[in-house]
A and B are shown apart, each in its own frame.
Chain A
Amino acid sequence: MLSRLRYTFRETFDSFRRNATLTVAAIITAAISLLGLGLTFLSQRGFDNLLARWEGGVEMIVYMQPGATQDQLDFIAQNLDQNSQVIDSYEYCDQSCSIAEADRVLAGEPGIRDLLNEGNIPTQFKAVPTDGTDVELLRLTAEAFEAGPGVFDVAFAEEQIQLIGQLQSFFGFRLFLLSGFLLVAATLLIWNTIRTAIFARRREIEVMKLVGATDWFIRIPFMLEGLLHGIIGAALASGGLWLWNEQWTEGVQSFPNNVGFASLVVTDGYDQTVMLFMFGIGALVGAVGAGIAASRFLDV
């Protein structure tokens, strides 16, 4: 068992050395495509943070004063129920829900976020209108609620928010598509690298088959090689993603307050989840590329 493992790793690293230029090209392509994918996920998350308050078609938010009484809350809820011709549905976001939302919305402004706690954060009623296009009716409704008991403020989605939503879906789809194409290119390059490695060792493989080596014994070093291309590519991409995110977060924190970028950062560990995902995709791309090549070209 030990001798087989030793053989497998020796052959894998010998092949790296013999096939250095193609190996480097395959790893760089895998790294760039995975970095593109990772950045797409991060930018989508940034947009999600920016739009967190308005998720699920919410277009009007009634902020209650900290310490609003249960009667005041019930009054607002009753009024929302009674305005069913304007308000289709609504949800109440209590203190802990509002704190969780602030973690995302104020990620780029830690100074402001630190001032908030469950004792002073406004709770919210998030309302989905029956007709989001009737801005005038919604504005009138908002003004009526502003005068309600215990109400701190009323906000509703501006055109700017809708524009950000449109930008998110426009860029999100295209960046995913681009990353997909790059991943296919990485798979093909890994496939081609393994094919070249097999071709370079065809005499050795012929001898191996004739002395009774099993197909899997012959295949595994090649598959491991492809897997390592993907994993090393993912490691490089993860390093790049981490650096990118750190520099962007630092940059956003030094922006003036209220320029609208505060939410466009990822600080809640989501970047690590994306890195793990990149390792998974990198390994998959490497294994698929190498596996297909090893099965297809080992028939000597």
Chain B
Amino acid sequence: MIRLENVTKSYSAEVVALKDASFDVAKGEFVFLVGPSGSGKSTLLRMLNRQERPERGAVWVAGRNIVDLPGGRIPMLRRNIGNIFQDYKLLLEKNVFENVAFAQEVIGRPKHVIRQQVPAVLDLVGLAGKEERMPNQLSGGEQQRVSIARAFVNRPLILLADEPTGNLDPGPGEGLMRLLDRINKTGTTVVMATHDQRIVNTMRKRVIQLDRGIIVRDQARGVYE
């Protein structure tokens, strides 16, 4: 599903975000990216949805090298990738339903499909009955669930999560991980950057560790260390 081949990216001579990084992620895998701040986790995620381009190397997503993907094809790539962020990136003037529906509306899904699929995904993330709530009427954990619902509503092949539990207490954080695990079990590949040792050690999924842009560990059923 994902393949990086000798990927290098630097922002200046001193700041090297990724150096000669290579790995494969199979369809349906769950991968943690761990490492200290500035180790290149977010850059790597941003490369997978073509927000960034490497200086060298190839980035394969769903069988296609996306490094030289023409600008007009990038939206199609992104329709197969869901994104979850630490700060949720919810639209504060839209309610829960509208926030999730927005992801379908902007890619031209018909209204009847939206009316059918949004409640279903809100039910999946445990927010049934809260469709009319505004984001500021929800807890942090609930806001992140809205963000997951928005990322998953178009049934993407890949889910990229950048520190999704970073702003949450342990309880809601664990609930969120159970949700991501459920989504992963539907066949969606999940790549998640995190600092949360407890979650990584509990989940025991594949762990790729980065340090100053270099992959220093790639371990199946790994722990944080």
Contacts and interface: CB of A to CB of B under 8 A. Distances in A.
B87 to A, nearest CB: 10
The contact size tier of chain A is 10 to 19
Contact of B78 (A203, A204, A211, A217): A211
Contact of A207 (B76, B91, B111): B91
Contacts of B154: 211-212
A296 interface: no
Contact of B109 (A3, A208, A217): A3
Contacts of B102: 204, 207-208, 211
Contacts of B109: 3
Contacts of B103: 207, 211
Interface of A is mostly: helix
A71 B83 CA distance: 94
Contacts of B171: none
A254 to B, nearest CB: 57
Given A3-B110, A7-B106, A215 B71 contact: yes
Interface string A265-294: 000000000000000000000000000000
A200 to B, nearest CB: 11
A208 B106 contact: yes
A2 B108 CA distance: 9
Q: Which of A1, A3, A211 has the most CB of B within 10 A?
A: A211
A9 to B, nearest CB: 13
A212 B71 contact: no
A15 to B, nearest CB: 12
A203 B110 contact: no
A204 B90 CA distance: 8
B89 A203 contact: yes
A212 B157 CA distance: 13
Interface residues of B, number: 22
B209 interface: no
B110 A210 contact: no
Interface in A1-53: 1-4, 7
Contact of A3 (B76, B77, B105): B105
A209 to B, nearest CB: 7
A2 B105 CA distance: 11
Contacts of A133: none
A211 to B, nearest CB: 4
A213 B106 contact: yes
B78 A210 contact: yes
B27 to A, nearest CB: 20
Contact of B150 (A2, A204, A211, A214): A211
Contact of B108 (A3, A204, A218): A3
B94 to A, nearest CB: 9
B188 to A, nearest CB: 15
A91 interface: no
A206 B108 CA distance: 17
Interface in A177-232: 203-204, 206-215, 217-218
Given A206-B89, A207-B91, A212 B79 contact: yes
Interface in A231-267: none
Interface string B138-172: 00000000000010001000000000000000000
B111 A211 contact: no
Nearest to B160: A210
B75 A213 contact: yes
Contacts of A1: 108
17 contacts: A3-B105, A3-B109, A3-B111, A203-B89, A204-B91, A206-B89, A210-B78, A211-B154, A212-B77, A212-B106, A212-B107, A212-B154, A213-B75, A213-B106, A215-B71, A215-B72, A217-B108
Interface of B: 49, 71-72, 75-79, 83, 89, 91, 102-103, 105-111, 150, 154
- 3 closest residue pairs by CB, A with B: A212-B79, A213-B106, A212-B78
